[in-house]
Structure 1
Amino acid sequence: MEAEASLYGKNYSHRTVEEKSEEQKAIDDWLPITSSRNAKWWYSAFHNVTAIVGAGVLTLPYAMAELGWGPGIAILLISWIVTLYSMWQMVEMHEMVPGKRFDRYHELGQHAFGEKLGLWIVVPQQLIVEVGVNIVYLITGGQSLQKFHDIVCTADCKKISLTYFIMIFSSVHFVLSQLPSFNSISGVSLAAAVMSISYSTIAWGASVDKGVQPEVQYGYKEGSKADRVFGFFSAMGSIVFAYGGHNVEMEIQATMPSTPDKPSKVPMWRGVVVAYVVVALCYFPVAVLGFWAFGNTVDTDVLVSLQKPKWLIAMANMFVVVHLIGSYQIYAMPVFDMIESVLVKKLKFRPTWWLRFVTRNTYVAFTLFVAVTFPFFDALLPFFGGFAFAPTTYFLPCVIWLVICKPRRLSLSWFVNWACITFGVMLMICGPIGGLRKIIQRAKTYKFYGHY
């Protein structure tokens, strides 16, 4: 009887383990990051283009005006190199433990810093980035719709508040947010990537066509010394914001198949290289030629400075709208994954379509509420850029690399990583200072839910 009971206990334990593993597999197959692993290398390319080449590219000429020719080009170029290097590190670390994949950014952080500390280091920063970007993109999408309306509308058209345009732009996300996984939004992401290339090309092409404006000046704007210093800091934050695609890198790579012979890092890196070539072809011409044409009088959005031909600028603003639809979804998907993981794994909710419907619509509604309450787009860019993007994009991958890979002290890898960390910390400190000052200045004259 004892032997039978013991055997029964072993069988019971074995069945329990099997049931748990089956349950875990069913949950992983339901969660948006791990539900589909059949992506190709070009998925990586256009997902990364959509994530990186955001509407922030249109503010680069203004950032150049705040920084000046030398510092502006230097920070743009160094940021391109540093973020490409840190992206390579993340691609390499995705499967650095044999037989295990770090499908989410925080899982890599937990491996480096420990289960609890890794969560506290990575998750708050990642959430600030992703939720912050979603809010900023709702504002930008509303602004682009408003600009389109103002351009195509006749002179006797009634002015419409930005709040309503943000609400119109947000409405599509209540539908698209129900797409279950990263791969299911690949069509939306591809369209967004094409649109980002298109409006960037219009921005620099129209700048070339317009040529250098009369009495153009490339020196710093008139104003107090404090204005110039804070403007310099703010511009650094705007550039950081423009390069932030690392917060979804691990999640994008998680959608790719992987075998010992063909690890996921091979197609992922191929896509990243293509994406960064596209980034360079978008960012540098827009920044340099936009500043060249308008000098220090360029608007925060270079499309506003261009104005003519009206039909082309109107079309560019609609391209921005389409791009931001896809970009919002790219940044929202990891947030959906976090929320649904907590609800299903920790709080033991059943993984159903109804749970997904409620949680995702609640999230979209939350970002909409914040967007219509605080529509300070050009001030939010440097603030979020420096405060959140700089750590997760510029130096956190380098810190994790030093912790896990432990390169020899004073070796080339050691020096390169510490140089990237130093540069990233500098941007993290400076960017939010300028951005916060702009937010305070705008808040003084802003009326909640009024005409902005």
Structure 2
Amino acid sequence: MGTQAPSPETYVKPKSDKEKSVDDWLPITSSRNAKWWYSAFHNVTAMVGAGVLSLPFAMSELGWGPGIAVLILSWIITLYTLWQMVEMHEMVPGKRFDRYHELGQHAFGEKLGLWIVVPQQLIVEVGVDIVYMVTGGKSLKKFHDTVCHDCKSFKTTYFIMIFASVHFVLSQLPNFNSISGVSLAAAVMSLSYSTIAWGASVDKGRVEDVQYGYKSPSTGGTVLSFFSALGDVAFAYAGHNVVLEIQATIPSTPEKPSKKPMWKGVVVAYIVVALCYFPVALVGYWAFGNGVDDNILITLNKPRWLIAMANMMVVVHVIGSYQIYAMPVFDMMETVLVKKLNFPPGILLRLIARSLYVAFTMFVAITFPFFGGLLGFFGGFAFAPTTYFLPCIMWLAIYKPRKFSLSWIANWICIVLGVCLMILAPIGGLRQIIVDAKTYSFYS
């Protein structure tokens, strides 16, 4: 493919006993005995967010042709950039890039790499956790209201607090391998509620007088909705932000590098992603046309017991997803506290730091329950780079493929499409914020 191997670094500075003991305590590097299937369900949990349920709505704003093209292109591009990250994890003999920012530092330099990667990664991970707080609370409310439709209705705020209470406990699990059970349950749930969503749509069949045209009466409204939908599809592929951290949990030797089991898990994960995304997006749009809600489960409504069960599955899934995205944040916090501020590592530090993080995400979720619009705006600057083109820029910087070789062309195509997405998605997100803010009241 016209790609040169990176020049091997002949000397990797050995770590002191103190550094080793800290690494053995930090959540990303404390356990390296994961199997390939851990990679599979961690990646499914990270990738298939509850956002899959909004894909039929995104299709209604994109239309049949562009919608299918965007879904397929996103699947191919993000699988390619994920492969690059898996390959780059151990490109320097004797060294592993266990965290996204460590790879950034290798590609761009110690300080610049940190400033390029960390802010973007934090926006994605903290932003996703806040969205999952909102999603978990709203899904709990939907479950309650569906099962007990004659009962008194409670504020969404209370359900977000109930959802957060689970994370005050789960956030104390030390590392990725310790949350593997939660992650497996979440991966199974994502496949289950996705199947319910498209299966119930097929059972219901096409509604009468179904319309497939654009809803907005004006050209400007149609274009802005189109941009917003591009963001919805793009944000469905955000697993890259935790992929190196997941790979760090897999054992590695020169004879058996971690990239082989990791890639095996990624391929299985992407097959599951395709089985979730494509049927939900296409069948949901086929059944309801442009009358579909931004959550396909709301549009379906019946049978009540099935929709209640699907909402509870969403809750279980976002519990796992929250933890997958929180773990690298915990690692960053604890690294700074222990290595920079010299706090002694231990249970008390972990209890206080992680509980404060959960409390913060809960507070923001309660205050801004329309955070999806904010994420569309701010996240457009972070989701598109970290998923679509930052891995390509790193690949070009490190491997230096020959000009106009297949590798060079493929990477530049991804970069151009990713930059377009980074510019257009926030425009749609900004419009969504303005629309939501008109009817917004605090702590409703």
Letter in 2 for 1:109: G
1:38 lines up with 2:33 in the alignment: yes
Residue 397 of structure 2 aligns with an amino acid whose one-letter code is V
Matched, 1:54 2:55: no
Q: Structure 1 residue 142 and structure 2 residue 119: aligned?
A: no
Matched, 1:175 2:169: yes
Name the residue aligned to 1:78.
73
Which residue, 102, 108, 117 being the options, matches 2:103? 108
Distance 2:149 2:308 in 1: 13
The normalised TM-score by structure 1 is 0.94
* Corresponding residue to 1:389 among 383, 386, 398: 383
In structure 2, distance between residues paired with 1:340 and 1:284:
39
Q: How far 1:377 moved relative to its partner? A: 4.9
2:274 to 266, 280, 283: 280
Determine helix, strand or coil for the equivalent of 2:16: helix
Selected match of 2:24 from 20, 29, 46: 29
Bigger CA drift: 384-393 or 210-219? 384-393
Q: Which has the larger radius of gyration?
A: 1
Which amino acid counterpart does residue 74 of structure 2 have in structure 1? S
Q: In the TM superposition, what whole-angstrom CA distance separates every residue of 1:286-320 from its partner, at most 9, and x where no partner exists?
A: 00000000000100000000001000000000000
- Measure how far apart 1:51 and its partner are: 0.2
**CA–CA distance in structure 1, aligned partners of residues 409 and 48 of structure 2:** 29
Give the CA deviation at 1:385: 4.7
Runs of at least 5 residues in structure 2 that lack an aligned partner in the other structure = 1-12
Runs (5+) with no aligned partner, structure 1: 1-16
Question: Aligned to 1:338, which of 332, 336, 348?
Answer: 332
CA contact (8 A) 2:130 2:371 kept: no
Among all aligned residue pairs of Structure 1 and Structure 2, give the percentage whose two residues are the same amino acid.
76
Paired with 1:384 and 1:394, the residues of 2 have a C-alpha distance of 16
The 10-residue stretch of structure 1 (372-381 or 103-112) with the greater mean CA deviation from structure 2? 372-381
TM-score, normalised by the number of residues in structure 2: 0.96
Aligned counterpart for 1:315 among listed residues 305, 309, 313:
309
* Distance in 2 between residues matched to 1:194 and 1:145, nearest whole Å: 18
Partner letter of residue 162 of structure 1?
A: T
Q: Give deviations 1:182-230, integer Å, cap 9, x for gaps.
A: 1100000000000000000000100100100011000000432222111
8 Å Cα contact 1:30-1:351 kept in structure 2: yes
2:154 to 153, 160, 164: 160
Q: Residue 65 of structure 1 contacts residue 218 of structure 1 at CA under 8 Å; is this kept in 2? A: yes
Match of 1:132 among 121, 127, 130: 127
Aligned to 1:220: 214
For the 8 Å contact 1:50–1:189, the answer to whether it is kept is: yes
For 1:354 and 1:365, the matched residues in 2 are separated by: 16
In the alignment, does 2:58 pair up with 1:63?
yes
Q: Measure how far apart 1:378 and its partner are.
A: 4.5
Retained in 1: the 8 A contact 2:210–2:289? yes
Count residues with an aligned counterpart.
432
**How far did residue 439 of structure 1 move?**
1.1
Q: Determine if contact 2:28/2:328 at 8 Å carries over to the other structure.
A: yes
**Cα distance in 1 for residues equivalent to 2:374 and 2:129:** 12
1-side partners of 2:273 and 2:379: how far apart? 17
CA deviation digits over 1:326-358, x for unaligned, max 9? 000000000000000001001111001100000
Q: Hey, what does 1:9 align to over in structure 2?
A: none
Q: Secondary structure at the match of 1:328?
A: helix
Verify the 8 A CA contact 2:123 2:379 in the aligned structure 1. no
Name the counterpart of 2:323.
329
Which runs of structure 1 show a deviation greater than 6 angstroms over 4 or more consecutive aligned residues?
Answer: none
Letter in 1 for 2:73: I
SS of residue in 2 equivalent to 1:133: helix
What's the counterpart of residue 379 of structure 1? 373
